[in-house]
């Protein structure tokens, strides 16, 4: 099934934040640095709670099946100070999320970069970046 | 019309005059406690160190010289987390160094006899007596350990022992043991700046002590926020991070 998802597993070197991800061992407890993933879909839910925000998006597979992915973002306190709010993205917004898949193969990933269709980045602080969370 | 004029006049009289806000002089003298010692009070932009050896962050540790035990702990951290869980991912206390060097601010409150470190990370706190008392005998070991402070001139020196050895030095996972001793110095060089050092002496893990040096700017416009770590810890509640099993070889 995974092969049919609109998921692109890209080479890590293509990712500017890859190095910072590698620098965080606790990241390895949950995610797999060897499984970079790009997801695109409409926002269905935003959870604004510690230690990390979570964004849920519906990703349409090539066969038409829709899978609801959850992606982990930064710590809400740090994001708040950077000016982000829970409603910085709206339900239905189309997001492209670049990140890394969970080790356990579930529909979970961490978000290194979240981008709107016009190229604007949102929730810039990622789980693997400076915005921390419980890492 | 007269009534309206009277009402306007009353309102004008009752509006309190705005007190002009004078910004603090960050280069001015340090605050002082009633006993004359410098106060470290304030919200500080603590140095973020995910890796204490990162050369891009001034004051880093140039070289960590491991014992065989320490090297083993460093080399096997990723596999340890897969078997024993990640204590930070369990929302357990981060310990002194990971709280100080995390991405979240730190507030210091202080009186003549105590220093309180308030960490936004996990909404944790650590109180350091500065009244000359000794370490507590037979105190159970803990995540932050026990600290006592004393003054050397205008420098506050804090010694910390009795660590449980379960924490890591930094996010990347440099190890420490229950035999570690932390020595910190705090010097408020002016109103807006603290110079801080963190020295780890841990003969079980490192063959020699090492020291980090930091400069923290005061951030009076930052207010600490609540950080309820487990409220949305999906990584743990969904099982991707395992329940933490403490290591049994840290003594």
CA distance B7 to chain A (A): 42
By CA distance, what is A81's nearest residue in B?
B222
From the list B54, B222, B233, the residue facing A134 with the nearest CB is B233
- List the structure tokens of B251: 């003594």
- For residues B86-90, average pLDDT: 95
CA distance B203 to chain A (A): 24
> What does DSSP say about strands A108-115 and B193-201: parallel, antiparallel, or unpaired?
unpaired
pLDDT, chain B, mean: 93
Whether residue A134 and residue B228 make contact (CB cut-off 8 A), yes or no, is no
Residue of B235, B241, B243 to mutate when probing chain A, most A C-beta within 10 A: B235
pLDDT, chain A, mean: 79
Please choose, from the candidates B112, B122, B99, B113, the residue with its C-alpha nearest in 3D space to the C-alpha of residue B44: B99
Residue of B90, B222, B232 to mutate when probing chain A, most A C-beta within 10 A: B232
CA distance A78 to B104: 7
CA distance B239 to chain A (A): 9
- List the structure tokens of B62: 């140039």
pLDDT of the residue at A62 = 86
What ipTM is given for this predicted complex? Answer: 0.84
Whether residue B171 and residue A25 make contact (CB cut-off 8 A), yes or no, is yes
Q: Are B150 and B162 in contact, with CB atoms under 8 Å apart?
A: no
- For residues B91-116, average pLDDT: 97
Q: Are B115 and B149 in contact, with CB atoms under 8 Å apart?
A: yes
More confident residue, A28 or A35: A35
pLDDT class of B112 with cuts at 50, 70, 90: very high
- Quote the percentage of chain B above a pLDDT of 70: 92
pLDDT of the residue at B73 = 98
| Position B173 pLDDT exceeds 90 | yes
Tens of pLDDT along B143-158?
A: 999 999 999 999 999 9
Beta-carbon contacts of A119 under 8 Å, excluding residues fewer than 6 positions away, are none
- Contact status of A61 with chain B (Cβ, < 8 Å): no
- For residues B214-238, average pLDDT: 96
- Contact status of B172 with chain A (Cβ, < 8 Å): yes
Which class for B184: exposed (0-12), middle (13-18), buried (19 or more C-beta within 10 A)? buried
Which SS3 state, helix, strand or coil, does residue B140 take?
coil
Residue B197 pairs in a beta bridge with B185, B213
Whether residue A52 and residue B232 make contact (CB cut-off 8 A), yes or no, is yes
pLDDT of the residue at B166 = 98
| Position A32 pLDDT exceeds 60 | yes
How many CB atoms are closer than 10 A to CB B216?
A: 23
Whether residue B103 and residue A103 make contact (CB cut-off 8 A), yes or no, is no
Whether residue A106 and residue B238 make contact (CB cut-off 8 A), yes or no, is yes
């Amino acid at each position: 099934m995974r092969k049919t998802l609109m998921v692109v597993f890209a080479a890590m070197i293509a990712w500017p934040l890859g190095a910072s991800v590698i620098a965080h061992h606790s990241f390895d407890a949950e995610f797999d640095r060897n499984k970079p993933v790009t997801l695109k879909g409409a926002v269905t839910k935003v959870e604004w709670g510690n230690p990390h925000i979570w964004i849920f998006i519906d990703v349409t597979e090539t066969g038409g099946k829709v899978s609801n992915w959850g992606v982990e973002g930064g710590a809400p306190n740090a994001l708040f100070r950077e000016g982000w709010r829970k409603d910085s993205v709206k339900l239905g917004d189309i997001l492209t999320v670049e990140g890394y898949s969970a080790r356990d193969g579930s529909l979970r990933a961490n978000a290194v970069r979240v981008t709107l269709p016009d190229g604007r980045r949102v929730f810039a602080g990622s789980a693997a970046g400076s915005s921390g969370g419980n890492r | 019309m007269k009534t309206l004029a009277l009402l306007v006049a009353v309102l004008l009289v009752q509006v309190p005059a705005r007190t002009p806000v004078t910004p603090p002089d960050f280069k001015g003298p340090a605050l002082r406690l009633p006993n004359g010692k410098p106060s470290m009070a304030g919200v500080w932009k603590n140095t973020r160190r995910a890796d204490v050896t990162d050369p891009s962050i001034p004051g880093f540790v140039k070289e960590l010289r491991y014992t065989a035990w320490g090297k083993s702990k460093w080399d096997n951290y990723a596999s340890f987390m897969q078997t024993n869980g990640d204590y930070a991912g369990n929302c357990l206390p981060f310990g002194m160094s990971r709280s100080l060097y995390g991405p979240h601010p730190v507030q210091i409150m202080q009186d003549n006899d105590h220093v309180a470190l308030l960490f936004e990370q996990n909404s944790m706190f650590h109180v350091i007596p500065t009244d000359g008392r000794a370490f507590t005998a037979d105190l159970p070991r803990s995540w932050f350990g026990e600290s006592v402070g004393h003054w050397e001139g205008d420098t506050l020196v804090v010694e910390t022992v009795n660590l449980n050895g379960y924490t890591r030095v930094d996010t990347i996972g440099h190890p420490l043991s229950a035999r570690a001793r932390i020595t910190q110095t705090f010097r408020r060089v002016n109103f807006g700046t603290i110079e801080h050092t963190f020295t780890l002496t841990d003969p079980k893990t490192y063959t020699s002590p090492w020291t980090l040096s930091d400069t923290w700017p005061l951030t009076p416009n930052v207010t600490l926020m609540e950080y309820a770590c487990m409220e949305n810890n999906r990584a743990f509640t969904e099982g991707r991070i395992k329940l933490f099993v403490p290591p049994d070889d840290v003594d």
